[in-house]
Copies of this chain bind each other. A is one copy, B any other.
């Protein structure tokens, strides 16, 4: 099974700092890439991460604030210059296609490769916005100053494991007979005996998942996206000391992000979208761990395996 890795490219909110770049997260799986948000400089950060822009299949934008969006134009220009021909899906709030029309060289009808727009209307409830054989991406509305959507990447469940010993005893061989049982269908052996999957095939194994929840106040949409997820990326723009400011500006505190993770029974929490007022992130991580122990601050350019085992109790802030 290909292993999915999430690579934070930018973890700053609003204004980049010397250490942190504007919002963008890349998901690498089976040699291909998905991109969540596309702040200014994302094409540079893909290069810094050693990720090939040519491998990009889809881009998911949460909302139309510049720090999540303004890297898209240069990235699309560069993909055109690199002579891309494969289509590219872009999921976003409604209005992106129209916006690109106003920018030189980006008019979608004249673009050198196909742009497949999936635009979410304000007021939508829930949508599967992208799907392959291996996974789906769904969207739900969040609670920000402007219309924003969060996303959940969910690999499809894998068939259960076959009890090898039991199968051999029943006369089943690997290959098409295994495949048939895995699909939940009976196998007819050469001697006419019928072997049913029940008892030989274990329960389906859930696929890896991650949720991308920013920018938002803590909200139901975020909790639903994060339900039981392997890895929750949730914004934590502020600490509790600025809880009022977080509410006013449509953001979350680290404690609120951790509360969403706990309510949703997520396995791990990565905090991101840090206000430029925080040099060190330890106060945010400590605050989150008070509520949800498996919390850390997303580190730019580090690759996080979605299904990485969590230790019983992390001992110190990142």
Contacts and interface: CB of A to CB of B under 8 A. Distances in A.
Contact of A102 (B16, B77, B102): B102
A81 B18 contact: no
Interface stretch (A28-36, A37-45, A174-182, A186-194): A37-45
A117 interface: no
B71 A40 contact: yes
A146 to B, nearest CB: 7
A18 to B, nearest CB: 7
A127 interface: no
Interface string A95-138: 00011011111100000000000000000000000000000000
A211 interface: no
A82 B15 contact: yes
Interface residues of A, number: 34
A70 interface: yes
Given A40-B40, A73-B70, A64 B16 contact: no
A66 interface: yes
A261 B2 CA distance: 56
B70 A74 contact: yes
A67 interface: yes
Contacts of A271: none
Interface in A50-105: 64-67, 69-71, 73-74, 77-78, 81-82, 98-99, 101-105
Most B CB contacts (10 A, CB to CB) among A74, A102, A146 go to A74
Contacts of A14: 77-78, 81
Contacts of A67: 74, 77
B74 A40 contact: yes
A237 to B, nearest CB: 13
A238 B239 CA distance: 51
B105 A99 contact: no
B66 A74 contact: yes
A78 B102 CA distance: 21
A69 B74 CA distance: 9
A18 B47 contact: yes
A16 B44 CA distance: 7
A22 interface: yes
Contacts of A44: 16, 21, 40-41, 44
Contacts of A74: 22, 39-40, 66-67, 70
A27 to B, nearest CB: 22
A104 B66 contact: yes
- 3 smallest CB-CB distances across A and B, nearest first, come from A102-B102, A40-B74, A64-B104
